[in-house]
Amino acid sequence: MIWNKSVYDTLTSCAALCDETATESSRSVDIENWYRFIFLNLDCADICRQVAMLYVRGSENTRLLAETCIEVCEKCASEAREFNNEKARQVYAMCQQTIMSCITILNMAPHMDLDKVQPHKNTPTSLFYGIDLRDALYN
């Protein structure tokens, strides 16, 4: 899969916006009207963040999660259209952008026929030299 920074940036931006929107919406006085919107924003943020992590490390499972991300973003965008405020419009636009980025991911990876897949050999450890997750885990 070829690295495309704008795809990663879109995924992480959507995650940040949806997290922020869920937090703001949970402070609303009429919160019972916002429940579905809040939960869909949280789901959207989580799935976008996961797709971004898989994408950045070139995981073979990125496409699987990208398909799910499209579905969740569609639900989140649809729910955002029900509300008439600026934040909901931003969520709608960001989810639409993220859907396009996930489609880009799906188009990047070759479609594999499971009957023709060769058994995997052991991954060489040299592939992992230089990967240090301590900063990500402890900061």
> pLDDT tens-digit profile of 107-130?
985 544 444 545 555 655 555 555
Task: Over range 44-58, report the average pLDDT.
Answer: 97
Q: State the chain's mean pLDDT as an integer.
A: 86
Per the confidence metrics, is the pTM higher than 0.85?
no
Q: Which of 15-19, 29-33, 38-42 has the lowest mean pLDDT?
A: 29-33
Tell me the C-alpha distance between 74 and 122, whole Å: 38
In the structure, what pLDDT confidence band is assigned to residue 3 with cuts at 50, 70 and 90? confident
Q: Is the pLDDT of residue 73 over 90?
A: yes
Tell me the C-alpha distance between 133 and 44, whole Å: 25
Q: Is the pLDDT of residue 138 over 80?
A: no
pLDDT value at residue 114: 46
As given in the structure block, the two tokens for residue 64 are 């699987």
CB-neighbour burial class of residue 54 (10 A; exposed 0-12, middle 13-18, buried 19+): buried
Q: Which option is the CATH number for 5-110: 3.40.190.10, 2.30.40.10, 3.30.70.580, 1.20.1270.360?
A: 1.20.1270.360
Tell me the C-alpha distance between 43 and 51, whole Å: 12
Q: Scan for tokens 């990967």, then name that residue.
A: 131
CA-based nearest residue to 26, from 105, 108, 87: 87
Whether residue 88 contacts residue 44, with contact meaning beta carbons closer than 8 Å, is answered with: no
Tell me the C-alpha distance between 110 and 118, whole Å: 15
Name every residue whose Cβ is closer than 8 Å to that of residue 111 and which is 6 or more positions away in sequence: none
Task: Over range 89-113, report the average pLDDT.
Answer: 87
pLDDT value at residue 77: 98
Tell me the C-alpha distance between 88 and 25, whole Å: 10
pLDDT value at residue 5: 95
Task: Over range 88-95, report the average pLDDT.
Answer: 98
Task: Over range 73-78, report the average pLDDT.
Answer: 98
CB atoms within 10 A of CB 79: 21
CA-based nearest residue to 69, from 91, 87, 46: 46
What proportion of the chain, given as a percentage, has pLDDT over 90? 73
